[in-house]
Every structure is written in structure tokens, then in C-alpha cells.
Chain A
Amino acid sequence: MQIDFAAKELTVKLVYYGPALSGKTSNLRAIHWLGTSNACGELMTLETQNDRTLFFDMLPITVSSGSGLKVRLKLFTVPGQVMHNATRRLVLQGTDGVAFIADSQRSEADANRESFLNLKCNLEENGIDPERIPTIIQFNKRDMGSIRTDEELELIAQRSKEPIYKAVATRGYGVMQTLRGLIRDTWTKLERDHQLEEKFGISPIRFMTEVEAKLKHDPGPGGR
């Protein structure tokens, strides 16, 4: 997080992590498409090869709070392919929250696990404690065949430390709930660490209300 007291400006970095082809870029595209134009900036897709991310995608969202505080949310994706680990580690630098986009298909369970371990490892390499950074998990591709059932995800959610969300990112279902959940958890952590309410006079509840107002609701199933 970057704080500019003079400009009353806060920049928060959120990273969408996950295995290759799990739908990280699709999440950002959907947010860009569903989000209100006065909050969402241009989606920047940085270097692709055969429609695969090579560096990252970035979507800036600006929330100007009624309290005079301007919050800039910078959403990043990482390249999921194993060989781009150095780039993933670079993009993770200074992140404030992580949305882990998992593929719901049973065949991708190993890839999900491997990528999550890689996330932990890269966070540690960047000096970030994986136990303390706000992380949420989205099970994407709920419209595919041979996926983990809703009942299974319910069970997983009960024993999961991270909040679980469901989504079909290509159709925009669940992406805004995921984003709101990520922003809420991240803000709660930032409030705890930096006493933002005391410094900027904005409570977490009020901030989330303003975020909700700035970002349009999507009609999908989603939710925990």
C-alpha cells in the first residue's frame, strides 16, 4: 500500500493469482465490463502470446470517498504458466491482497494445489507472510463439466481459512462478489495495521458502502 497524506490518496495493490488458464484475465475483463466507467480505468493487457498473459494485466479502479480520501485500487493478474515464475514474483511485490482463482474442474486439482504452494513460496520470497495477507479463493468455471460440486465446495468452505467464492468469469458471474470480498478483507487488514479510520476519517463499513456504490452489482449466482 502507498499512502500520500498530502494528496489524501491511498493506493492498494490486489493480485489475481492462480494456475494457467484458470480465468484470472477473464475476471479482470469482466470487472472492466461490469464496473462503472467513472470508477474503472482502462484495462491494460501487457504482452500476450496466443492469448496467454506473459507479464500481467492491470485494471485501475478509483474510488473517491465522500471523506475526501481517494483510494486507487490496482488490480493485477500474473502469468499462470509455470515458466513465468520470476514475473509472478515481481508482480506480487507490495501486494496488499490476493484473489486465488482456482479452476473448478476435478482434473485441475493438482494444478490448483501446485499454484497455491507457488503463491506461498513467492509471497515469502517477497517478505510477505502468507498467513497474514488477506487471501480469498474463487472456484471459477462453474459452468464446466466434471467440476467439484456445490456441496463439496460447501464442505471445503467450512474448513477453509480463506473465504470461498464461486464464479463463471467469462460470463461475469461471481466476479464482483469476489472483488468486493477481496476489497473488504484487504481493507479490514489495512485498517488494523494502519488505523485508516483514525487517519482519514473513514470507517471500513462506510468505505465498503462507497465501494459498493461505485461498482455495479452483477446478477450472477456467486456467494459463499
Chain B
Amino acid sequence: MQDQTNVADIMMGDVVRLEDVLSRDSVTSVCKSFFGLFGLPVRVISHEGDLLADVHRDQPLCNYLNTLGEGELECARTVSVVRDMEPDVETIVHPCFTGAVYRIVPLEYQGRPIGRFIVGPYVPAERAQPPASLLSVDAGIDQTTACAHFDTMPRVREHIAEEISAHLKGVLELLLFSGHRAQLASTMQVASVRENYRELAEKNEALQSSFEKLKQLDQLKSTFLATVSHELRSPLTSIIGYTEMLESGAAGALSDGQAEFLGTIRNKADQLLGLISSLLDLGRLEAKSLDLNHERIDPHALLSDLAATVVPTANQRNVSLDIRVDDGTAKLWGDQVRVGQILLNLVDNAVKFSDQGGTVTVRAEDGEIDATGASGLGAALFTASRPAVVLTVQDDGMGIAEENLSKIFDAFYQIDAGTTRVHGGAGLGLSIVKQLVDGHEGKIEVTSTLGEGTIFSVTLPAADEDA
């Protein structure tokens, strides 16, 4: 129904065709009720000439006239004229040669003609006798029969017919208004949904396009980092090598001042090499191209090695190291070098951010990893846990504000610019740690209280007993 209507008309809130808003069944039902009440025939015709309802009973007079040649012709002519009549604003009362009349009432909606209805034929009650035009319509007419049939025609006084028609017009207009309202509502509903969908689709497309661009940029960044890091490392290796040669006296004895300056050069070059190595790691991790060599790792050995590496720095800063491995802690399943790197980064950070006289506690104990971490409905069915080792690094330093906790694993993120100046670092360590932990299918969590310290918990899969 709606696909035949004009969208522009709908957006103007117009009714295009009567049949678009009035169902034939409901109009017929109203007309039947009208016929039942008043006994008057009714036809409803659209502006385009379609018959929407036709409720009448064949009149004996009409049936009789249709048996006569001239009577049939005259009847057909009258019906044709009445049917084609379209009054502009005022009702037309069209006389029939039988003495009956047809009342043709225009239906107008929002200033436009939309159809009409025809009441009749009926005989105005004011007319007592059949007119001469009926009795002389055909040479073979039996006037007694015609008069008898004339008396059986529906009769109503004209002013009553006018009131009845006005009433029917009101009912049809009400139906029209309700139908139009329903049509507009459903059209708007569909159009709004389409418009919303179109808008969302456009936004999604724009977002997808931005996402693709960002992915490309990210890829470019990773490639750039990897290339630059690689290109930087080669000359830096030479700088370190030649510095070591100078320090070893390969080019002659050094004065104390020269040795001190060379020591500084080598120290800074080492720092730079560390940074470049981190950038390379990050690049590989982001490109998922870092190979991990999984093996069984003894937590005791892991933490002992760690202690040996970190103790000198901790001593320099007057920070105590408290290293504990719970009895019976399972062996880890991971890349020995990379797990060592994870711990070293965390402990190095903890020492760096501890105050003088503070303590850094490193602990290894048994734990579990939830494979899905699911909660809520059906969690019992979806959660699968496996044995793990939890490595905890706790400091009693300055702590991290809650709003910063979610960002500390972002690459190059520093809580504030001053941190870099005071403590050094490029903000890469925790990003690398997070990616390494993810690469081991482990998880890392952090809790912190400002002024009291921070606890990092790294949970890594335990090695199978028989692995």
C-alpha cells in the first residue's frame, strides 16, 4: 500500500489516495450499518474513481425498468452520470427520471478533494406520485406495475436525508483522520528507523576508516621504531666497543680524568643501548614477532639471579630487598630470559620509586589463572582455572593515584613529566612487561595506595608436573 504513495506527499503529511488510509472493510462495515439503520443505499468512491464500498439492495422498480429497452438505457445513463459526478465543495442532489434522487456528497481532506459518497436512489418523502418521466420512459411500460414498484422505493424527507448524509460524512472523515494518523505514524516509524540506521552506518564507516588509518599509523610507528632502533644500535655498539678498548689501555695509558670521562661515556652509552633494546622489544612484541622459548623455570633460581642483579642498585639507594619463595612453589612455564626481564623491570621500578630506607618485597607463591575470568550467568561452566605461580613485587614508595592505574601499561606513559626527570626511563618498561606477560598467557594486576606503596602481581602458568 505504502510503496504506491509518494514520499514527498507523505513528508508533506498529505493523503495521496483515499484507499491508502481507509480500509475497504471498515468503510463497507460503516455503510452496512448506515443501510441497516436508514435503508438507504450508499456507495463510496475515491477521487481516482475506485469504488471502495457499495451497499444497496436491488429495487424492484429498477429491475422492472431494466426489462424495458428504453428504461434500461435511461437507467444506465443516470447511473453513469451520477457515478462520474464529483462535487467541488457543495453536495449535489441529482434527480433520476423515476422521481428518485441521488445525493452526492464530496469528501475533502486538508483542503483537497479525496473522494465522494453517493446516497440513493431514494424518493423524497415530499413526492407523492411518480413523475411523468417514469410513466412515459418506454412505450411498453405497464403504469400500474411501475406505480406499485415506485411505492416500494426507500423514502426519506430531504432535510432528514441531508442530516443523515452529514452524519455519515462526519463518520467517514473521522475514519479518514484516524487512518491518516496511523499511516503517518507507521511511515514515520519506518523512516525514522531507516534514518537512524543510515546515520549509524555512516558513523560506523567513518569509525572503521579512522580505525584502519590508526592501525596503519601504528604499524608505521612500529616499523619506524624498529628501523631507527636497529640503525642506532649499530654505531652505539662501536662507541661502546671503542670506549672499552680505550678503558683497557689499548691506545695507551689514561689519566684519572680521562678514565672518569670514559666511564661516564660508557655508562650513558649503556643506558642508551638499554633504551634501544627496549624499543626493539616493544616493536617485536607489538608485531607479535617475539619468539618465546618456553621451559621449566625454578622460582628459587629466578629470584636468586634477580637479587644478584638488583642488590647493588638497591644498596646504592639504601633500599632493602626482601625476597621470599614459598615452600613447594611450583616451577614456572615460560621463557627464562623474558620472565627474568619482567621481574627485573618491576623490581627495578620498585627500587627506583622507594624512598631511602624503604623495603621492596619480592615473593613467589602458588596460585591459579582463570582461563576466562568469566563471572555471572553460567560462570561455573565457562571458568576454567589452571595452576600458576604468582610473583609479587611490593614497595612502600609514593604509590600511584587510582586514575593513573589504567594507563601505566601504555607505551611512553609517565605519570608526570617530573618522574622522567627525577627517575629516568622512557615509560617503556611496564608496557613491555604487560606485553611479555600477555605473551605468556598470564596476567598482571596492580594495586596501589598513595603514600603507602604499590603491589604488582604477575601470575604466570605453572609448568606441568611431567613437563
Give A contacts to B, CB under 8 Å: 2, 9, 11, 13, 41-42, 44, 46-47, 55-56, 58, 60, 62, 70, 72, 74, 76, 84-87, 89-91, 93-94
Question: Provided the pairs A46-B184, A46-B185 are in contact, do residues A60 and B192 lie with their beta carbons within 8 angstroms?
Answer: no
Output the nearest chain A residue to B193 by Cβ-Cβ distance. A86
Interface string of B1-20 (1 = CB under 8 A from A): 00000001001111000000
The DSSP consensus for interface residues of chain B is: helix
- Residue from the list A13, A60, A86 in contact with B199, Cβ < 8 A: A86
Question: Provided the pairs A2-B8, A86-B195, A90-B195 are in contact, do residues A41 and B111 lie with their beta carbons within 8 angstroms?
Answer: yes
Q: Are A90 and B110 in contact (CB under 8 A)?
A: no
Contacts of A91 in B (CB 8 A): 11
Can you give 7 A-B contacts (C-beta < 8 A)? A9-B112, A44-B180, A72-B110, A74-B14, A86-B195, A87-B188, A94-B8
Q: Are A90 and B12 in contact (CB under 8 A)?
A: no
Question: Provided the pairs A58-B13, A87-B195 are in contact, do residues A41 and B188 lie with their beta carbons within 8 angstroms?
Answer: no
Contacts of B407 in A (CB 8 A): none
Known: A55-B184, A60-B13. 20 other contacts (CB 8 A): A9-B111, A11-B14, A41-B111, A42-B177, A44-B177, A46-B185, A55-B188, A62-B110, A72-B110, A72-B111, A74-B12, A74-B14, A74-B110, A86-B192, A86-B195, A86-B196, A90-B188, A90-B191, A90-B195, A94-B11
Nearest Cβ in chain B — how far from A6, in angstroms? 13
Contacts of B199 in A (CB 8 A): 85-86
Q: Are B12 and A2 in contact (CB under 8 A)?
A: yes
Contacts of B184 in A (CB 8 A): 44, 46, 55, 58
Contacts of A72 in B (CB 8 A): 110-112
Which residues of chain B (58-98) have a CB below 8 Å from chain A?
none
Q: Are A44 and B181 in contact (CB under 8 A)?
A: yes
Most A CB contacts (10 A, CB to CB) among B14, B110, B111, B196 go to B111
Q: Are A87 and B12 in contact (CB under 8 A)?
A: no
Contacts of A42 in B (CB 8 A): 177
Nearest Cβ in chain B — how far from A64, in angstroms? 8
Nearest Cβ in chain A — how far from B429, in angstroms? 45
Which residues of chain B (162-193) have a CB below 8 Å from chain A?
177, 180-181, 184-185, 188-189, 191-192
Nearest Cβ in chain B — how far from A76, in angstroms? 7
Q: Are B185 and A60 in contact (CB under 8 A)?
A: no
Output the nearest chain A residue to B184 by Cβ-Cβ distance. A46
Contacts of B8 in A (CB 8 A): 2, 94
Q: Are B181 and A46 in contact (CB under 8 A)?
A: yes
Output the nearest chain B residue to A4 by Cβ-Cβ distance. B112
Q: Are B185 and A90 in contact (CB under 8 A)?
A: no
Contacts of A85 in B (CB 8 A): 199
Output the nearest chain A residue to B89 by Cβ-Cβ distance. A64
Question: Provided the pairs A13-B12, A86-B196, A93-B11 are in contact, do residues A55 and B185 lie with their beta carbons within 8 angstroms?
Answer: yes
Question: Provided the pairs A72-B111, A86-B199 are in contact, do residues A46 and B12 lie with their beta carbons within 8 angstroms?
Answer: no
Question: Provided the pairs A41-B111, A72-B110 are in contact, do residues A94 and B12 lie with their beta carbons within 8 angstroms?
Answer: yes
Q: How far is the CA of A194 from the CA of B322 in the complex (A)?
A: 90
Output the nearest chain B residue to A86 by Cβ-Cβ distance. B195
Contacts of B112 in A (CB 8 A): 9, 72
Contacts of A70 in B (CB 8 A): 111
Q: How far is the CA of A184 from the CA of B280 in the complex (A)?
A: 72
A-B interface, 7 closest residue pairs, ranked by CB to CB distance from nearest: A62-B111, A86-B195, A60-B110, A55-B188, A86-B196, A72-B111, A58-B13
Contacts of B191 in A (CB 8 A): 90
Which residues of chain B (132-184) have a CB below 8 Å from chain A?
177, 180-181, 184
Contacts of A47 in B (CB 8 A): 185, 188
